[in-house]
């Protein structure tokens, strides 16, 4: 079963840079896909389109055979269903972390998705990413690596079926790189669909079942 299908997708930023041009892509249920390419090739743009936060000027995006458009993303029922299914890890942790404390950031997704059992979800995600002693800390007080771990934990707490991860290993030391890769491997083995943006990372490539390399940007 296809989770995502993108057909002939093009996206141009207001400055005239064409980030994506006629891109087509299919992601199967349970697939672990790595997206790589040089800086400015549109990797993050692609994830944001798949997450329903950007919408292409041309082409079609389907999620489980349903159109993912600005219109459908704005419909309450579709949006609630889609947000429950799909979790996005932003490239910058400071975008992901906006609550007064780390614990509140981890609880935000489960609460807003109406998942219940929020406290247990937060505890599990915090334990996975070694954050048990940091839940009362404000995110701005954390180191970069701690912020990255907190951002990942906020996605894990939502237990989404599909994970869109932008550079999940960036800023992590060797211990937490290995721990995070082990967690991703376990999630993949459990049937999660995972799309990872990574910049030429052999460790991530070895885990992948598929890889897409995006060409460089088209200048205006």
Q: Which of 206, 143, 147, 203 is nearest to 179 (CA)?
A: 203
Structure tokens at 92: 């910058």
What are the boundaries of each domain within the chain? 2-214
Element (H, E) at 88: strand 86-89
pLDDT value of position 220 = 44
> Could you count the other beta carbons within 10 Å of the beta carbon of residue 139?
22
Element (H, E) at 111: helix 102-113
Whole-structure pTM value: 0.95
The series of mean pLDDT values per 10 residues for the chain, 220 residues long, is 96 90 96 91 95 97 97 96 97 96 96 91 97 97 97 96 96 95 96 92 86 71
The CATH number, out of the four listed (3.90.650.10, 1.10.4160.10, 3.40.50.300, 3.60.21.10), of the domain defined by the range 2-214: 3.40.50.300
CA distance 34 to 47: 11
- How do beta strands 2-12 and 210-214 pair? unpaired
pLDDT value of position 17 = 86
Beta-carbon contacts of residue 163 (< 8 Å; ≥ 6 apart): 86, 87, 89, 155, 187, 192, 193, 194, 195
């Amino acid at each position: 079963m296809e989770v995502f299908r993108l057909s002939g997708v093009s996206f141009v930023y207001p400055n005239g840079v064409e980030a994506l041009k006629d891109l087509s892509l299919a992601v199967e249920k349970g697939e672990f896909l790595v997206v790589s390419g040089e800086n400015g090739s549109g990797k993050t743009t692609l994830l944001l389109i798949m997450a329903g936060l950007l919408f292409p000027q041309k082409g079609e995006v389907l999620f489980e055979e349903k159109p993912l458009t600005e219109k459908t993303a704005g419909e309450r029922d579709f949006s609630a269903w889609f947000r429950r299914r799909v979790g996005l890890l932003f490239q910058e942790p400071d975008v992901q972390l906006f609550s007064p404390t780390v614990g509140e950031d981890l609880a935000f997704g489960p609460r807003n998705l109406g998942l219940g059992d929020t406290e247990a979800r937060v505890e599990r995600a915090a334990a996975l990413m070694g954050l048990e002693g940091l839940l009362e800390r404000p995110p701005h007080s954390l180191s970069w690596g701690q912020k990255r771990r907190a951002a990942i934990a906020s996605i894990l707490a939502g237990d989404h079926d599909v994970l869109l991860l932008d550079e999940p290993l960036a800023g992590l030391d060797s211990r937490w790189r290995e721990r995070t890769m082990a967690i991703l491997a376990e999630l993949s083995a459990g049937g999660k669909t995972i799309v990872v943006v990574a910049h030429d990372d052999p460790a991530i490539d070895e885990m992948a079942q598929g890889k897409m390399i995006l060409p460089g940007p088209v200048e205006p």
